[in-house]
Structure 1
Amino acid sequence: MTPHTLLIIQVGTPPQDIRDQLGDLPSWFGNALDVAPDGMLVVRAFEGALLPEPRKDCVAIITGSWAMVTDREPWSEYVAQWIRAAMAIEMPLFGVCYGHQLMAHALGGVVDYHPQGREVGCEMIQLLPAAMEDELLRQSPAQFPAHLTHEQTVITLPQGAVALARSAHDPHQIIRYGRFAMSTQYHPEFTPKHLEAMIRRRAAVLVAEQRDPEQMIKALRETPDARAVLGSFLRDCTCFAY
């Protein structure tokens, strides 16, 4: 892989206690994809760092965040504008959680808080009929577990976008926007340790919502099929030597 054919658009950073345990988001993606730090360019967009001009020989991953798309932060709207420019030249884009929602927002969809509240835990993702016609997903299992933690969601798809998977809670778990653009509401980069740390950090809130954090933690497991969607996307982009 040539240097900087992978762009990590970092749109948030974990709370300090989670960073102390598990590091920052770029290392999560690097570990998930077996990509060394010098094999990626990280731009901390949430701190106002400027993005490079979109180019077709680079794959961009837009990370998750602890912010909310509906806050319309200036840095977030700047990334949304960049997404539209990248889509115009068919630059490969993959959004995760906040990145998933931001792509939908940037391309004309509607994002807001989920009417039924937060989704958190290791949950089953079910492929929709459209996935059977998708080159990347047609060989995937019909359902597979994935790690989730989010309060906002894609309420309405952008024009031309297609939902490829759902969970019991959320109808838009994987979205295809074009040949080289897709996103997941779930976190393909998470391991059980990542989600355990987040569940423990929110334990009081979850208990108040009549959930059992310890049972949620016991239900965690590895999610190789969820992770494979991201890896397959990168391999599917001919510009990426993976």
Structure 2
Amino acid sequence: MKLGILLCDDHYPESIPTYGHYDDAFKRLFQDSAINSYSTFRCFEEEYPNSPDDCDIWLVTGSKWGVYDPDSWIKAVSEFVRRCDEAKRPLLGVCFGHQLIHQALGGRADKSNKGWGMGVYPIESMNRDQGSMSSRPTALNLIACHQDQVQSPAPDFSVIAGSTFCPFAITAKENHILTMQCHPEFTPDFLIQLVERLREKAGDKVVDNAIRSIKEHGGGDRDYVIASMFAFVEHQTLEQ
């Protein structure tokens, strides 16, 4: 299986010597899955694939941009997402990618009046009838870093997990789209250095609380989300 990474940002330059480029995080995440090759398209630099058929599965990454920003590359990725959906080509969305997929397909994402979701936070509501993820616990602790959220889901999406703070935390459409507000590709050490870089923007209290939550919970239920992404990939393998 070949994964097409629609890269919507890159790590801070100071982070790259230690952690590599952003797409490297996803390559590490999927290294034990059915995916055995990758193509990265630096969409935020206007590098795009030609067709949804170029790869078996597509992934829309996180980004510092908002899906509502007027940049031409965001519109181009949104149009590509619509083409993938029409062709039933499998799609994964993470953070910004989760929001963009919903907005591209008729939902709405915007800055949340609830403020920053940063660190490891709880998801208390799990839809146990949704089959797009592996067998589910009743609650999750998820790594996250965002201000924006999906405000209105796109039509035909099921909510797999949510909370009062983030009602649409993990969603799916039929069997070909899986999206999540969390960052399963982030490790605890990566997240700590990232939130430190956001201290001036987010404020000391938010960042200190985030670091405290990471030290308390580590990666939280990151392994569960990764296993569920693997299950999604495996399902696509069987379908194809």
Q: TM-score, normalised by structure 2?
A: 0.89
Counterpart residue number, 2:120: 122
CA contact (8 A) 2:132 2:178 kept: no
- Corresponding pairs, count: 236
CA contact (8 A) 1:101 1:154 kept: yes
Counterpart residue number, 1:84: 82
Question: Separation in 1 of the partners of 2:232 and 2:200?
Answer: 37
Question: Separation in 1 of the partners of 2:164 and 2:20?
Answer: 31
Unmatched tracts of structure 2, length 5 or more = none
Provide closer, same or farther for how the CA distance between residues 211 and 56 of structure 1 changes in structure 2, counting only shifts above 3 A: closer
Question: Separation in 1 of the partners of 2:152 and 2:206?
Answer: 29
SS of the residue 1:189 aligns to: coil
Counterpart of 2:10 (choices 9, 13, 16) is: 13
Question: Separation in 1 of the partners of 2:45 and 2:148?
Answer: 21
Counterpart residue number, 2:22: 25
CA contact (8 A) 2:133 2:229 kept: no
Counterpart residue number, 2:41: 43
Shift of 1:226: 2.2
Question: Separation in 1 of the partners of 2:156 and 2:239?
Answer: 26
Counterpart residue number, 2:237: 238
Shift of 1:91: 0.2
Structure 1 residue ranges, 4+ long, deviating more than 6 angstroms after superposition: 35-38
Counterpart residue number, 2:148: 152
Pairwise mapping of residues 76-225 of structure 1 onto structure 2 (< 5 A)? 76-128=74-126, 131-137=127-133, 139-209=135-205, 212-213=208-209, 214-222=211-219, 223-225=222-224
AA of the residue aligned to 1:228: A
Question: Separation in 1 of the partners of 2:206 and 2:79?
Answer: 40
Question: Separation in 2 of the partners of 1:34 and 1:68?
Answer: 29
SS of the residue 1:9 aligns to: strand
Counterpart residue number, 1:53: 51
Tell which deviates more after alignment, 12-21 or 27-36.
27-36
Counterpart residue number, 1:63: 61
Note the alpha carbon deviations across 1:178-203, whole angstroms, 9 max, x for none: 22112000011111122111122123
Question: Separation in 2 of the partners of 1:192 and 1:26?
Answer: 17
Provide closer, same or farther for how the CA distance between residues 139 and 68 of structure 1 changes in structure 2, counting only shifts above 3 A: same
AA of the residue aligned to 2:139: Q
Question: Separation in 1 of the partners of 2:55 and 2:22?
Answer: 23
CA contact (8 A) 2:198 2:207 kept: no
AA of the residue aligned to 2:70: R
Calculate the aligned-residue CA RMSD, in Å. Answer: 2.4
AA of the residue aligned to 2:29: A
Unmatched tracts of structure 1, length 5 or more = none
Q: Percent identity?
A: 24
Tell which deviates more after alignment, 191-200 or 214-223.
214-223
Note the alpha carbon deviations across 1:37-94, whole angstroms, 9 max, x for none: 9810111111001213012960001111111111131101111001101100100000
